Structure 1
Amino acid sequence: GPGVYAEFEAHSGTPRGFVFGTGWARARPFFLERADQFRAAPPPEIESGDYTRAFDEVREFGRALSATRTADQTHLAFWWKEFCDSSMNRLARHLVAAEGLDLWAATRLFALIDAGIFDGYVSVFENKFHFNHWRPYTAIRWAENDGNPATAAEPDWDNTHHHTYAFPSYPSAHGTVCAAAMTLFARVFGDDYTFTMTTPEVERAGPMSPRVKMDPPERSFTSFSSAAKECALSRVYLGIHFRYDAEAGNELGRRIAEHAWHRFLVPQASASTIR
């Protein structure tokens, strides 16, 4: 029915009936007490104005040949494609060296970031299968039957990515885990921090597709929060997420990171000060 996730095996490159990520919600998290500890608010109703605006945005900005999407938006769409467990660890290595962190501080940073990313995946996939929300690829092609008179179907619509991941859309996993990592970086170094990230190359479409070099390979930011927002919105420009997926993912990632920061791996008084 309208709004419900449906697979397109030809577009996802997976066998009929295959859905990725169902096991994540059964994984044991590091910081969270349980997978459903943080529940995102529901996505907009299909008949609502919020849904219509998000639908129109991804249809135009995320289409394969878009006259609306800028060259920079196309660049960032692909540049952010790398899985966050790779890109965030590369950034962590850069920050450890740039700030001269000692062994203890560096170890703590990597533990926070990687456990935060892991818990982000646990939480977001639990949310995804709870809401079971459809992808833009499905929504735009099937809009004639969605019950919303303000949406227009395009049966041949394709996205920038030429690929749709084989799992539900809401919230964005990329937006979640990137925000979890960036929020923890902000807690360690302060949010207003100027830095440059490097992504040398990415897969052109889905997993194991041919790789393309990024030109340029660098993007610069003035805060960790602005980087998290750009990361999440990159999925709109790829045409694989609605804006509300991205925003809900960012919020979920922030909640996970704040929970971790205040409760785990908190520095203790040194032995010399204990009485």
Structure 2
Amino acid sequence: MVAKFWAGPIWNTWNEVAENAALAHQTNLESTARLFAVLNLSFADNTIAFYDAKYHYQLWRPITAIREANTVGNPLTIGDPTWTPLAITAPDPSYPGAHSTISAAAATVLSDFFGNQDHVRVTSDALPGTVRTFASYTDVATEAGLSRIFAGQHTRLDHDSGIELGHNIAQFVLSHFSVSAPK
């Protein structure tokens, strides 16, 4: 279920999480506008960075690796040409994972604004009516990123690198824009 829960556009999901957090914390208009500006600037910068990395490193997706494992010159690997992932595979290289990158960025920005420990409800775009709850933004980001491994879209390397990239770029954006709620 986790693999399918996170199948929708991840930046849309995180914008919904941010909207719910702003409402729950009753942030004022200026603070909320700053939150969304920094959040989405972080998404834009991360998207540029992860696509640069994808096409620089050109790592194959699990579907290709599994189906064509016997073509890499290692007699100990056997391909499975019938293997199918749980989700449709994107037509771009695997590394780093987009869901992991965007989710780490979102968790970093939202944690900076509201603190990491928060009651977070996430509604799935892909499974209408399905809601999951989390105790922190980091927990949400971790599950969103791992869901792409469960769906057969990414490897752990893609996820771990995406988390690091997303966090680092969000920290950079945050260091250049003050987004903390007014005291």
- Per the normalisation by structure 2, the TM-score is 0.93
| Structure 2: segments with no counterpart, 5+ residues | none
C-alpha deviation, 1:194, in angstroms: 2.2
Change (3 A) 1:262 1:143: same
| Structure 1: segments with no counterpart, 5+ residues | 1-74, 203-212, 268-275
SS of 1:194's partner is: strand
Moved over 3 A (4+): 147-151
In 1: Cα distance, 2:62 partner to 2:104 partner: 22
In 1: Cα distance, 2:47 partner to 2:8 partner: 15
C-alpha deviation, 1:151, in angstroms: 3.2
The residue correspondences of 1:218-229 to structure 2 (distance < 5 A) are: 218-229=131-142
Matched, 1:253 2:175: no
The residue correspondences of 1:120-199 to structure 2 (distance < 5 A) are: 120-161=46-87, 163-199=88-124
Percent identical: 34
Instruction: Judge which range, 258-267 or 137-146, deviates more.
Output: 258-267
In 2: Cα distance, 1:76 partner to 1:104 partner: 35
- The one-character-per-residue Cα deviations of 1:147-178 (angstroms, maximum 9, x if unpaired) are 344433111111111x2111100000111011
- Per the normalisation by structure 1, the TM-score is 0.63
In 1: Cα distance, 2:75 partner to 2:171 partner: 41
- The one-character-per-residue Cα deviations of 1:94-123 (angstroms, maximum 9, x if unpaired) are 111100001111111111111111111111
CA RMSD of aligned residues (A): 1.7
In 2: Cα distance, 1:109 partner to 1:84 partner: 17
SS of 2:121's partner is: strand
C-alpha deviation, 1:266, in angstroms: 5.5
Conservation of the 8 A alpha-carbon contact between 1:117 and 1:178:
no
SS of 2:117's partner is: coil
C-alpha deviation, 1:264, in angstroms: 2.0
